[in-house]
Amino acid sequence: MNFRYNHSPFSYKRRRTREVKVGDIGIGGNNPIRIQSMITADTRDTENSVRQILELERIGCEIVRLTVPSQPDADNLPNIRKELKRLGSKVPLVADIHFTPSVALKSVEWVEKVRVNPGNFADKKKFAVRDYSDAEYKEELERISEVFLPLVSRCKELGVSMRIGTNHGSLSDRIMNRYGDTPLGMVESALEFIRIAESIGYKDIIVSMKASNPQVMIQAYRLLCSRFLELQMDYPLHLGVTEAGDGKDGRIKSAIGIGSLLEDGLGDTIRVSLTEDPIHEIPVARLLADKFNSKIPPEADGISYSEFRNPYTYQRFYSRPVNIANVLIGETHPVRVETVLPFSSSSDFNSSLANLRNFAKALSLDVELVSVPFPDDPALREELIESAGSSPIPVGVLVERNELLYADDTEDLKPFAKVVVDPFHHFQNGDLLMDFLKTREGRGMTELRVQSYQIESLKGLPEMLQSNGIESVAFSLHSSHILHDYRKLAKILSDWDYPIVLNGEFQDEETALYEASIGIGGLLTDGIGDILRIRVPSAEPETVLQLGFDLLQATRLRLTKTEYISCPSCGRTLFDLQSTTARIKERTGHLKGVKIAVMGCIVNGPGEMADADFGYVGAGPGKVHLYRGKEIVLKNVPYEEADEKLVELIKSSGMWVERESLETF
């Protein structure tokens, strides 16, 4: 298998694509990363549709999408276009099409771009199991071509572009039976439609591979780009994590999926899908796009490093198990969260630790590891050693001064369960480093943290550690290029089994949320990392602790709270998605590890929530279908009763826990 999907996994360089025009807006080529969103108004409601389009345009949205589910919706597009023209709007419009080729042919006359979903444009999804012979499969493709080509021909005549947008949740039964519910199935679904379009010379195409799980989404885009390289296709990419949810969780998922792909040089236009008013999507998208629109490729391009992963599937980077005062890391143990606390006195430290533990307990989280900066003052060191010895949580120290350690320093470091040192700045030579590490064996773990510019100097160090019998060692970096530099570190360590600590240091909470999601979140989806440590000096330790666990939740590595899959709403939505999601969260937010999907309609419903335990899906005006997994358990439940019926369904499935019992525990 070809593992190449971009210029290099170890440095930034944007993928070269053709330019595709959406009205006057160019996507791909030398254009900046474009920002788009989707209105939630009913497309038959001219006034509200125009109002939302203008609101998005005013705050910097460059392309606006509308859902066009039926003929009456398509019939109203001329009215929307006329009113926008009267008001001086120039933003290009995109018609979002599912199920209805005839509606697509009507819509294409009034928009600059059409989005089709290859999973349901000419195919059905009934979760049917069937084996297709090659001849039968070919016949199906010929049938699809007959349905799809009239739209392609009209787009070509009018100069209208097209997004071929695969959704993980709505792969056709035909694709599912041949390729499974996989990134490969997503890619092949899009390629089939691309080949049909190319058969008549149409190439004004943009492609997307969306999923609610950032890990699946990332793998699918990488695999698509690998296939594009093989097939010499250069179509631009539209990036998005679908059904990302709302609030902080929705922003973290979006930053992990969209941001880490942009960091790999992939992506030409983005949409952040939040279960909030569409205008709230634009600042998030702008923050992500601006970071990369101004990014300059480094002079050192990482070519000296070679791929060490399978980038299309998740496999955890193996490391040996290490015991840190009865907290096990590495091997099959969960990725741990380390919290940094200040130390000015024993009483202040004990108070901070108690507050942190109480906060964590209220959220069903654990305080697993704590570290503090190693004091220079000898008296304060003695106080810290005493506090660490009596702490119920393993306490480590971070040596942060940029000078050599002397004998009294190394002696004071011996008692701690975990010590973070710089092997190049704190020790005069390799022999002194080895002597120190030998004294630490059996006492705890030593983390060797190096500056990013010294990564190359690590080559040969694992061999030295092995020859000296040093085992209780982990590696970390101090870097502002977290994703690429840690991949270099992982490559250097790929023939060894030393744990890796993902270290990120940020100036404020917002920067931490986005940069940690892109860098640390991206690495977690690669299977890299045994401990994560985020430092934000201006933030409360409780906020930083929760961010660490939120990253693990978003990457599906540790579910420490209820997981919600909720769509961003659109004109197809059959109830108020924001208030409904808020109500369901209020009732079920204490169910640790339970996955609940809240979908406004059936388009992405059963499939996109395929890995959810329960689903709440709009079925018609005032009606809701309730699912257990992929199975409809209750049909057409009155909207007023649906919340309670969902709770009853969770209880009957044995996955309900009362809030009181959790608090007592």
Please say whether the beta carbons of 316 and 13 come within 8 A: no
pLDDT tens, residue by residue, 194-214: 999 999 999 999 999 998 899
pLDDT tens, residue by residue, 369-418: 999 999 999 999 999 999 999 999 999 999 987 888 988 899 999 999 99
- Is residue 169's pLDDT more than 70? yes
How far is CA 487 from each of CA 8, 42, 456, 481, 517, rounded to the nearest angstrom? 11, 46, 12, 10, 16
The secondary structure of residue 244, as a DSSP letter, is B
407: its two tokens: 């004998």
**Bridge pairing between strands 25-28 and 19-22:** antiparallel
Sequence-distant (6+) residues with CB within 8 A of 595 are 559, 562, 563, 564, 565, 611, 612, 613, 614
Residue of 475, 567, 650, 660 lying closest to 243 (CA atoms): 567
3-state per-residue secondary structure call for 427-444: CCCHHHHHHHHHHHCCCC
Alpha-carbon torsion angle 658, 659, 663, 665, nearest 10: 20
Cα radius of gyration (the chain): 27
- Look up tokens 């420490």; give the residue: 560
Please say whether the beta carbons of 470 and 441 come within 8 A: yes
User: What mean pLDDT, rounded, does the chain reach?
Assistant: 92
Evaluate the CA torsion angle 350, 539, 218, 480 in order and state its sign. negative
pLDDT tens, residue by residue, 76-112: 999 999 999 999 999 999 999 988 899 999 999 999 9
pLDDT tens, residue by residue, 111-161: 999 999 998 888 765 556 578 888 888 999 999 999 999 999 999 999 999
- β-partners of residue 482 are none
pLDDT at 177: 87
Please state the rounded mean pLDDT for residues 585-597: 90
Residue of 343, 346, 434, 329 lying closest to 383 (CA atoms): 346
pLDDT at 570: 67
Q: Where do the H-state alpha helices sit in 159-198? A: 173-179, 183-198
Output phi, psi for 421, to 5 deg: -135, 160
CA–CA distance, 500 with 304 (Å, rounded to integer) = 21
Please state the rounded mean pLDDT for residues 500-529: 97
pLDDT tens, residue by residue, 595-609: 898 887 666 555 566
pTM greater than 0.75: yes
- β-partners of residue 533 are 338, 503
Q: Which residue ranges are tagged as binding site?
A: 567, 570, 601, 608
74-78, long-range: CB within 8 Å, 24+ apart, which pairs? 74/103, 74/106, 74/107, 74/110, 75/106, 76/43, 76/44, 76/46, 76/49, 77/43, 77/106, 77/107, 77/109, 77/110, 77/111, 78/110
Please state the rounded mean pLDDT for residues 309-324: 94
Sequence-distant (6+) residues with CB within 8 A of 545 are 337, 339, 356, 359, 360, 365, 367
Q: Which residue ranges are tagged as binding site for [4Fe-4S] cluster?
A: 567, 570, 601, 608
Specify the 3-state DSSP secondary structure of 210. Answer: strand
Question: Using CB atoms within 10 A of its CB, is residue 613 exposed (0-12), middle (13-18) or buried (19+)?
Answer: buried
Specify the 3-state DSSP secondary structure of 366. Answer: coil
| Residue range(s) in the chain whose domain bears CATH number 3.30.413.10 | 563-664
360: its two tokens: 């964590």
Percent with pLDDT over 70 in the chain: 95
Output phi, psi for 650, to 5 deg: -65, -40
CATH class of 322-554: alpha beta
What topology is assigned to 563-664 in CATH? Sulfite Reductase Hemoprotein; domain 1 (3.30.413)
| Residue range(s) in the chain whose domain bears CATH number 3.20.20.20 | 19-293, 322-554
Q: Which amino acid is at 540?
A: E
Q: Where do the H-state alpha helices sit in 132-213? A: 134-158, 173-179, 183-198
The secondary structure of residue 321, as a DSSP letter, is -
CA–CA distance, 525 with 336 (Å, rounded to integer) = 15
pLDDT tens, residue by residue, 223-256: 999 999 999 999 999 999 987 778 899 999 999 9
Count of CB atoms situated within 10 Å of the CB of 47:
11
Residue of 587, 649, 644 lying closest to 615 (CA atoms): 649
Output phi, psi for 370, to 5 deg: -130, 140
Sequence-distant (6+) residues with CB within 8 A of 407 are none
Name the architecture of domain 19-293: Alpha-Beta Barrel (3.20)
pLDDT at 604: 55
Please state the rounded mean pLDDT for residues 527-555: 97
